[in-house]
Amino acid sequence: METGSPRDAGPGETAGATGGAGAAEGTGTGPVSAGAEPAWTGLPPRLLRMRRLLLVVWLGAAALATGLLLGLLAAPAWAAFALLPLPLMAWGWVLLGRNWRSWRYAERADDLLISRGVLWREETVVPYGRMQLVEVTSGPVERHFGLASVQLHTAAAATDATIPGLDPAEAERLRDRLTELGEARSAGL
């Protein structure tokens, strides 16, 4: 099942696909050699659907509450101000899509790369040997959409990282793999 974002792969990038723990190198699920360009894996589209639904629900509720309060307390003409959140909703819809497309991660031989950001690109490199704890979390809304997040805790709090909105099976596979690689790398120190 494909989890890569729909954006075109840039030079040297491949759209990632999920696979089992025994997937071949270069498919986005296995490590690649340190010198090779990593195979990036994007986040599943369900994360975008969840975030957009939350945007519509919260801004729709704000518009409704504003319209009711202004209509009842001021005058019915003032209720037209309840339409102000609608352009904000359209703007947020576009921004959520751009943000979702910017998130990606790649497993390399010695570290995990996490890249995100639209205006300010941020790339986090988490060496396997520095990982102390790998958690898989899923709140009620995430569980409803079949999503989970992987949170990485390292020796330095500044390099803690999170990969949001993964399929639960992929999140568990990633947790197990990162834990295994972290134990192997830290044993060699």
Q: Both 92 and 122 in a single domain?
A: no
Q: Both 89 and 113 in a single domain?
A: no
Confidence of residue 38 (pLDDT cuts 50, 70, 90): confident
Distance of alpha carbon 19 from alpha carbon 29, whole angstroms: 6
Q: Both 161 and 110 in a single domain?
A: yes
Threshold 0.85, pTM exceeds: no
Q: Both 77 and 113 in a single domain?
A: no
* 131-164 per-position pLDDT tens digit: 888 999 999 999 999 999 999 988 777 767 899 9
In a domain, 29, yes or no: no
* End position of a domain, from candidates 36, 64, 96: 96
Distance of alpha carbon 27 from alpha carbon 19, whole angstroms: 8
47 burial type by CB count under 10 A (0-12 exposed, 13-18 middle, 19+ buried): buried
Provide the domain count of the chain. 2
In a domain, 9, yes or no: no
* 165-188 per-position pLDDT tens digit: 999 999 999 999 998 888 887 655
CATH number at residue 173: 2.30.29
In a domain, 116, yes or no: yes
In a domain, 31, yes or no: no
Distance of alpha carbon 95 from alpha carbon 165, whole angstroms: 17
Domain of 74, in residue numbers: 48-96
* 50-77 per-position pLDDT tens digit: 999 999 999 999 888 888 888 888 887 7
Distance of alpha carbon 139 from alpha carbon 54, whole angstroms: 14
* End position of a domain, from candidates 96, 116, 131: 96
